[in-house]
Structure formats: C-alpha cells, structure tokens
Chain A
Amino acid sequence: MSASTAEPIAPPVGQLALQATAISKHFDGVAALTDARLDVRPGEIHALLGENGAGKSTLIKILTGVYRPDAGSIASDGEPVHFAGVKDAHQAGVVALYQELSIVPTISVAENILLGERTPNTAGLVRWPEANREARRHLDRLNQRIPVRRLAGQLSPVQQTMVAVARALAADARVLILDEPTASLTDTEIKDLFAVLRSLRDEGVGIVYVSHRLEEVFELCDRVTIMRNGSTISTRDVADITIEGVISTMVGRDPGELFPDRGTATDRAVVSVESLTGRRVQDVSFTAHAGEVIGIGGLAGSGRSELLCLLAGAQKATGGTITVAGRVLPAKGDVGAVLDAGMVLVPEERRSQGVSLNASIQDNIALANLEKVSSGGWVSARRVTELARRSMENLRIKARGPRQHVGSLSGGNQQKVVLAKMLAREPHVLLLDEPTRGIDVGTKAEIYRHIRELAAQGTTIIAVSSELPELIGLSDRILIMHEGRISGQVPAEGADEELLLSYCYGRNA
C-alpha cells in the first residue's frame, strides 16, 4: 500500500456540483485543515472518511458556510463561490444534515421541512394549506408517509432523518451532506434511508456521506475521499479499493493488530451474578474473574444494556444476587454501594451521561474523584491539575492542556476523558457500555489496548457491545443475550460470528 503518498485526484467527469480546493483553516492557531480537497459530481454518493479529528466536520462546516476558510477556494457548478453564512450555501444548493441537529422537535413536520425562508406566505402571513401540501410533496418524493401536522419530536429517529432530508429537498439541494446519519437507526431503517439516498442520486443530487461504518460505505457509495490530519489523502472509486486499504489510508499505517493479545485472565472470581432478574433481564448467572474481559452481546432490546444497569446499581433487581469481591450488593439498586465495592460504569451516551461538555478536562475528572483531590473539604487546585495530567498521559488524551473544555475535543478524546474519570477511581471492576461507539479506528485500537492493560493489572472488565468483531477481538469470554436471558456463552478466541448471531436470534445452534 503506497498510502502515505498523496495520490492524484481523478479528473472530473463533466461539471462538478461542488469542488473544494486547498482549503485550510486554523482555530486558535491550531491547524484543523491544511490541504483539504473534495469534489462532488452530480448524481454520485461520495463517502468522506477519516479518523476523528481528521478534519471532516470542519470541512463540512466550511462547505456549508458555517465557518469561513483561511485559504483555498470553493466552486459550485464551476463557478467560484464565497459562503458568508449558511444561507449563502443553501442558495447555492449545498445543504448538510447533522446527526444530532436534524429537526426542531417542538414544531410541526411541515414547518421543519419548510424551515428557513421557504414557508409560502402572503405579506408574512403563512398560507397553511399550501405549506402543508408543499411539505407533503417533498415527503412524497422520498416515499415517506409522515403526517405533516404532527410535532416532529414525536417521530421515530428515521422519520426525523427523513424530515431533514425533505427539508434539504425543499431547499433545492444539489449537494446533500449527511454526517453519520445512521448512528441511531436500526438495520431496516438504514435500508429505507439508503433506498431514499439512491433515488436522490439517480435524480442527480450529489451526496456526501460521512460515516464510521465502513461496511455502509462499501454498500452505498460510488467514490470515497479519505482525509488524515486535516488533509485530503486520496479520492478513489469504491470499486477500486478494499476495506483494509481504506483503513490503512485513514490511519496512515497498516491497521496491524487492532486488538491486543489476550491471556490475562486468572482463576480468582471477582464478580458472581446469580439468577439475577430485573426489568428485561431474566435469571442471568455468570462469574467474572480478575484480569478477565467479558463481552456481552445481543440485539438491541435483548437486555444487554439493562443487565449492565443492574450491575451498576442504576436499576432495581427483583431477584437474584450480585457479589463483588465477596460483598453482596443491595438489590434495591444503590450506585453508592456499587462504587464502594470498586465497580464503576462507563456509560454509552458520553455526551449526556459521561462528561460535562462545558467543563474542562480537569474538572470533569476531579468532580468524579473529589476525595482524591481534597483534604478536609478543601479542593486543592494543584492536585486537580496533577490528577488530570496523569490521566491525560496514561490515556494519551490529545488536548492543549488539562484546562481545555471537553466539548472542544474530538469524539475519541471525549470518550478517553470519560474513561479517565472512571479509571482515576482505580476500580476492581470496569463496566463498559459500547466503549467505542462513534470512535475512529485509530482511537479504538488505543482504547482496546488500554482495556487489555487494565486487565493485565488484574481489573475485571465487563463490556457490552453491539459489534460482534469487537466482542470477539476484545473479550476472553462472550455472553450473548436474547430476550433477557443468556442464550449462549463461548470463549472469544476463535469464536464464529455466525454462531454468535444465531445466539443473538435465540436459536441455540
């Protein structure tokens, strides 16, 4: 793989819908983009890939007028353009959909679709029947039957995404940029979305698709542009590349061992769960040992996350017992007692449950470990900073310093802060819920390595994941749940994805 050298970008076919050349952008003197390029043809689905922090989001925001570039040029339909704001980009037909910012929940579907300056009106008075008809027309184009007068907040996630796509259509989008649109969708919903995207492509819309799920990219996209460290490395036809090639281009090296070696498990039982029963969990029993990584899998709704909640004391158990290092935990769900027993949970939703985005790295870590940084009720600023520095070093958190706000870090580094906060408690048992969701490959490998290091030091790790390769690569032992019960238990080494999947569907092979 000659991935490290920049390859020439394929010559354009016909007129390009959007072309960004040599874009650079700095924030507070730190380069976010140095030489970003992207060209989008009409009627193609173009994947934009890169690790977290590679500059994808910044580039998208420049293409849609949210940020202005320091240097470089953008052309729309061959004409040079300068976007001073989102409105300008909309007028040029460049519209982006953001995963967490797709709709306004408190207004109707129709209003969401016509948001911006597109509501039909006479001298400022909205013509409602026409507005509703117009909104319905855009939804019809997407083959969606969503009541246009319903509050958008009452829709399912995929319907909300569809509403956002319809809004882009209402804005006459010729270039549609989607940022991780499938993160909260089920497999069937993803299929629906893909069908819609393909039909838009066939109508001549140029689609830029940002995703961490490489399988999706290969299923859906025509071309792919890969970014690394703020620069565009390569643009290729999807037919000409492999997943391995994409990964090595993204990380700039061979993926090598994504997962570290196993073999740290001991015979000393640390957590024993007996006939545990609670909401969505039925009669679950297992034992976890010091130095062991246990992976828990299952389909969404199988009870895997609820099991973790029961263990963490966030939910009430109605039957069974949990014993940690010889101590039986109270059944009523007592987070304090669980923490005292040396067991901590790293939650899935890092933005809402894991970190305070508005606070600094050091405050996030210190708040979870006040007893470590205070004496007699007084918090020592010096110890707060020291603790943060140690954690940042340990987990290789990339930041300007311990005082940087967590909200301004990349997703992978935010996740590391969540981990750091919990690890500073020096737990005996670490509960992880989707430890690498929405994180790029490079950071994933680091987090896996770190988990295994902890196991080598004797920590017991129980990780829930929806990704089977992750379960297989990371764990020593895998438990699969189905309808609240453990439907299969296998050693991870050499485990077969098909077998695991059949357990997931409750078919005992």
Chain B
Amino acid sequence: MATTETVSAAPLPQDRPDEARDERKSLSQMVLQSGTIIALVGLIVIFGIMSPSGFLSLGNLTNILAQVAILTIIAGAQTIVMVTGHFDLSVGTTATLSGASASAFMLSGLPVPVAIILGLLVGLGVGMINGFLVAFLNISAIVATLATLTTVGGLAFIVTDGTTLYGMPEVFYWVGQSRIAGLPMPVVIAVVVALVIWIVLKYTTVGRRWYAVGGNADVARLSGVSVRGNVFWAFALAGLVSGMGGIVLVSRLSSASATSANDYMMLAVAAVFLGMTLSNSGQANLGGTLVGVGIIGVLQNGLNIVGVNTYVQQVLTGIIIVAAVLLSSFKSRRA
C-alpha cells in the first residue's frame, strides 16, 4: 500500500504531460467523428463519377452554393438554439412570415430598406415570443415552438391573403439575385451570417454561456449564469436570423408565398444533427452545421442531376436524419 501511494503522489516527470494527450484520439473515435465529413466527400465522389460533366462543372458547384445559401442561414439560426439545449421548430415559418411581411410592406409603398428592417423585426419578434415562452414560462421548447410554428404559419397566410405576392421594387431583387465577384449575393450573405454566428458561438462570452447552459443548465445557474436571459436571447437571435433567411429567399424568388420557407425547418434540423456528430462534446456547432448543409445540398443537387425525383429526395432526407442521430448517440455511448 505504502509504495503505491508514494508512486502516485510523486511529481509527474514532464511539465503538463496531459496537454499533449489532449489532442490525441483513438482511431475509432476519429472515424466516428469524421464520418460525416467522409460521407460528404463520398457523396461528391459518387455524383462526380455518375455525372462528371454535369455535377462537377464550375457552374453546377456555384449552383449548389446558391441552393444551400438560404438553408445555411436558417440552419445557423437552428444551431444557436440547439447550442442552448433547446429546439426551434418555427424557424421555417418564421422565415416565411418575415419574407412575406417585408414584401407586403414594399407593396404597400414603404421604402425597401424600411420594409426589410420591419421584416427582420417580425422575425426577431417571433424569436422573442419563443424565448419568452421557453425561458420565462417554462414551456418545453418543442411545444412552444410547435405552437408558434402553427400561429406564424397562419399569420403568413393572412399577410399574403393566401396568394403569392410579387412585383416588389426592382432594387429589392439586388439582395437575392445580384452577384459579387461572380458569387451570387445569397452566398455572400450566407457566408457573412455563418461567420458572425461562428464568432459569436466560439469567441464571445454570450456564446460560451449558451454552451454552458446547453451542457448543464443547473450547474450554469448555480454558478451565477442567468439561464433564462441567455435562453431568451438565443431564441430571439434565431428568430432574427431566420427572418433574414426568409427575406433573402423572397428576393431570390422574386415572390413571396404563404409557405415559401417552411420546408427549410426539417432540413435545418437535419443539418444541425449531422453537424453535432462532428464535435467532441456532441453539441451543436456551426462548423458541423455547415458540413451538414453541404451534405444536404450535394445530395439534393446530385439526385436532381442523376434524375431522382423530389419525393425520393424527401425520403432520403428523413433517413439521413435518423442515421445522423444514430451516429451521434453511438459516439456519446463510446465517449
């Protein structure tokens, strides 16, 4: 007994020997963790072989970027909420309502910038309501955002009167249809939004507090973190960002319907789940979300090019979500 104790109490030979071990991972861990990236590369290779001239052309690759730009923005919003350990089912309809409201304001004669800002405020408002319901009234996020999904979806029909709004001022289409240095404007906006969210989540005290709340809300609260305030603002920001996605979409399509962005919700959830498999801790993170968005974008585009119809694409999306969740739960079991 005495000898073992002396050994364990002896000073460690090197200075901080554990720091190096920090970076090392087991092979199986690495394969699991990079599985999602391998899947993305694999998809690109498969579609590249199946349709070398179509899929891999510069034009099509730019096309993929343009197609995923709006999904990137909305998935970014979903990432923020999921970092805090919650869930926002309303990101799609919020985007729809923001886009439709902005369009309606423009058609009513308001200047384009004012209409855009009002549209963004609509998104922020929905996010704040979600945040209030979840953080201050303690309603579970699924139930609260399911309710706002329904309500906001209804409001979008009221705003558009069930029709499609079009004929907005030409200058508005600059947001969704112009190009900067050959890149479609939505791609540029998505990159900026993603960069900002990434910085906020990784390098700001607010973002780190969101991670603390998502990791263990009780510990965070007992350490003096305001869990309610942080959850509230995460939902609020997610609403604002979703609204941004909706407005860019409407500008790209030149029209606003009562359901234009609704489908992005499921895809955004899928992207975030896929991305969660990429982090050490199994938490939502923007880098991972982007890989998830990439997989969904490549899959949709590639399936289109090789001629698989959209219904099958939808089936595949569902299967991918299950696969991603399985993969991440398998990983956390190993950890």
Contacts and interface: CB of A to CB of B under 8 A. Distances in A.
B206 A101 contact: no
Contacts of B170: none
A252 interface: no
Contact of A149 (B5, B19, B226): B19
Contacts of B282: 106
Contact of B224 (A101, A117, A146, A149): A117
Interface in B17-46: 18-19, 21-22
Contacts of B212: 104, 107, 111, 115
A125 interface: yes
B222 A86 contact: yes
A105 to B, nearest CB: 6
Contact of B216 (A87, A104, A116): A104
B328 to A, nearest CB: 13
A104 B22 CA distance: 18
Contacts of A121: 204-205
Interface string B211-236: 11011101111111110000000000
Interface in B261-286: 280-283
A194 interface: no
A465 interface: no
A116 B222 CA distance: 9
Contacts of B335: 153-154
A167 interface: yes
Contacts of B311: none
B16 A101 contact: no
B18 A188 contact: no
Interface in B71-88: none
Q: Chain B contact residues: over half helix, strand or loop, or mixed?
A: helix
Contacts of B3: none
B208 interface: yes
B8 interface: yes
Given A105-B281, A111-B212, A124 B222 contact: no
A482 B332 CA distance: 32
A66 interface: yes
A86 B204 contact: no
A107 B211 contact: yes
Nearest to A117: B224
Nearest to B216: A104
A171 to B, nearest CB: 8
A116 B281 contact: no
Contacts of A41: none
Nearest to A124: B204
B222 A106 contact: no
A102 B222 CA distance: 9
A115 B19 contact: no
A96 interface: yes
Interface in A204-218: none
Given A106-B282, A149-B22, A151-B281, A115 B220 contact: yes
Contacts of B221: 86
Contact of A116 (B8, B211, B223): B223
Contacts of A147: 16, 18-19, 21-22
* A90, A101, A150: most-surrounded residue (chain B CB, <10 A): A101
Given A107-B215, A150-B22, A116 B225 contact: yes
Interface in A140-180: 145-147, 149-151, 153-154, 167, 171
Interface in A16-42: none
A167 B280 CA distance: 23
A265 B223 CA distance: 52
A92 B211 CA distance: 26
A121 B226 CA distance: 18
A90 B216 contact: no
A413 interface: no
Interface string A110-128: 0100011101010011101
Contacts of A167: 223
A167 B212 CA distance: 14
A98 interface: yes
A86 B22 contact: no
B204 A106 contact: no
A126 B281 contact: no
Given A101-B218, A105-B216, A111-B211, A119 B18 contact: no
B11 to A, nearest CB: 9
Given A115-B212, A125-B203, A104 B12 contact: no
Contact of A145 (B18, B205, B223): B18
B281 to A, nearest CB: 4
Nearest to A86: B224
Nearest to B22: A147
A103 interface: yes
A85 B227 CA distance: 12
A153 B21 CA distance: 16
A159 B196 CA distance: 35
A115 B219 contact: yes
Contacts of A104: 211-212, 215-216, 219-220
Given A116-B223, A145-B12, A151-B281, A107 B208 contact: yes
B197 to A, nearest CB: 14
Nearest to A146: B18
Contacts of B283: 106
Nearest to A170: B223
A106 B224 contact: no
B18 to A, nearest CB: 4
A167 B335 CA distance: 24
A105 B283 CA distance: 11
Contacts of B8: 188
A101 B220 CA distance: 9
* A98, A107, A116, A125: most-surrounded residue (chain B CB, <10 A): A107
Contact of A126 (B5, B203, B220, B223): B203
A96 B223 contact: no
A104 B19 CA distance: 20
A101 B12 contact: no
Interface in B313-335: 335
A243 to B, nearest CB: 25
Contacts of B215: 104-107
Interface in B165-211: 199, 203-206, 208, 211
Contacts of B223: 86, 90, 115-116, 167, 171
Contact of A106 (B16, B199, B205, B281): B281
Nearest to A113: B223
B268 to A, nearest CB: 21
A124 B22 contact: no
Nearest to B217: A104
Contact of A111 (B21, B203, B206, B208): B208
Interface of B: 5, 8, 12, 16, 18-19, 21-22, 199, 203-206, 208, 211-212, 214-216, 218-226, 280-283, 335
Given A106-B216, A106-B282, A116-B223, 18 more contacts: A85-B224, A90-B223, A96-B222, A101-B216, A104-B216, A106-B215, A107-B208, A107-B212, A111-B208, A111-B212, A116-B225, A117-B224, A126-B204, A147-B16, A147-B21, A151-B281, A167-B223, A188-B5
6 contacts: A104-B215, A115-B225, A119-B205, A126-B208, A153-B335, A167-B223
Interface of A: 64, 66, 85-87, 90, 96, 98, 101-107, 111, 115-117, 119, 121, 124-126, 128, 145-147, 149-151, 153-154, 167, 171, 188
The 9 closest A-B pairs by CB, nearest first: A106-B215, A104-B215, A106-B281, A116-B224, A115-B223, A104-B216, A87-B224, A147-B18, A124-B204
